[in-house]
Copies of this chain bind each other. A is one copy, B any other.
Amino acid sequence: MTSQKGSKTAPGRSTTMADVAKLAGVGKMTVSRLLSGSANVSKETAERVQRAIRMLNYQPNELARSLRSPHSKTIALILPYLYDPFFATCAHAVSTVATQHGYSVLITTSDEKTDIEQQQVAHMLRRRIDGMIIIPAPNEEDYLRGKDFESVHIVTLDRPATHSRFDSVLVNNRAGARAGVAHLIEHGHKTIAFLGLAKDLFTMQARYNGYREAMTGAGLTPELYIECRSNEETVTLVHSLLTEKRPPTALFAGNNLTMRYLLHALNMLRIDVPGQIALAGFDDFDIADVLQPALTVVRQPVYQVGEMAANLLFQRISRGEYPAKGHRVVLPTELVIRRSCGCHRESRVTFGAKSVADTTHE
């Protein structure tokens, strides 16, 4: 270990508003007023104060500010994971909008576990945030009903808030999945399997419902929900699926992760797409168009989902209203037809116009 130069302790306390005031020969309030820009300060004193601020390199302490004022200028963002590109993009959008509004974002992950989420929410509340955006974990135990939540603005994203007065931003999961599966049906497929993640995820249920609607609507019988947990498991699952007596001729993947599991499995089992089996899925991703074959997917407006959630939140914050019923915004999805479905040329169909509605409880 080499000897280190450098101080053990941080330099003495930083310069405060009082220091600036003294140097400028004014009262603290004049400095405060100048900074907030709210009230009138004469040209001359303003200049003097400005100079003092620059000389001392004064930086207002936002913590102290927050303690006094009703706004902490901070929002919280709670999501399951950050390494899922969908969530990451939402987070980026939220961060961008927050910056535009002069707000900071406290971010944290729940790992899809309700208890961790609840803990994180409580922690955020103690930090006196002005609002929060949550992608709620499944089986939310309705802790958001408590009294503590009466004075926070909350928007949920990707999944609805159960029994609540909060706003939600969702995409048209059911219609999107229905359209994707319907397209597979148009190709003449009669037996189509739906593969998804954990069944208790809202999005998976909604998409599975869309799948069932498409099937029954075409007079076909929907298959059971197939839950994929890993690459390995999916290989087994797909293998047994294809050796059934009436194997599916097409597959629909519930999201981009499921799709990756599926691609891996199909690859391992050396099954040709779309030759031996057709493929489509929910959620577009970066190289879906570069894959061989290019993937047919239902695309959701990822960035807009995050952006919209943030905008709704700031609307609430600035209005300071706590309505009894939340809004539910449903963003449209789009069917991006590429090759994995069996098509020979690419095209797009937008599905489900943006809708805003009062939340019906449940």
Contact = CB atoms under 8 A, between A and B. Distances in A.
Interface stretch (A22-30, A57-65, A169-177, A194-202): A57-65
A233 interface: no
A33 to B, nearest CB: 18
A81 B128 CA distance: 27
Contacts of A292: 267, 291-292
B6 A324 contact: yes
Report, nearest first, the 8 A-B pairs whose CB atoms are least far apart: A5-B324, A10-B151, A82-B92, A6-B323, A88-B88, A6-B324, A4-B323, A107-B107
Interface in A49-103: 57, 59-64, 66-67, 72, 74, 77, 81-83, 85, 88-89, 91-92, 95-96, 99
Interface string A1-42: 010111111110010000000000000000000000000000
Interface residues of A, number: 69
Given A57-B146, A60-B126, 13 more contacts: A4-B321, A4-B324, A6-B165, A6-B323, A6-B324, A8-B322, A9-B320, A59-B126, A59-B148, A64-B67, A96-B109, A291-B292, A292-B292
B82 A128 contact: no
A280 to B, nearest CB: 17
A125 interface: yes
A358 B325 CA distance: 58
A127 B83 CA distance: 27
A353 interface: no
A89 B83 contact: yes
Given A83-B88, A85-B83, A95-B107, A325 B4 contact: yes
A224 interface: no
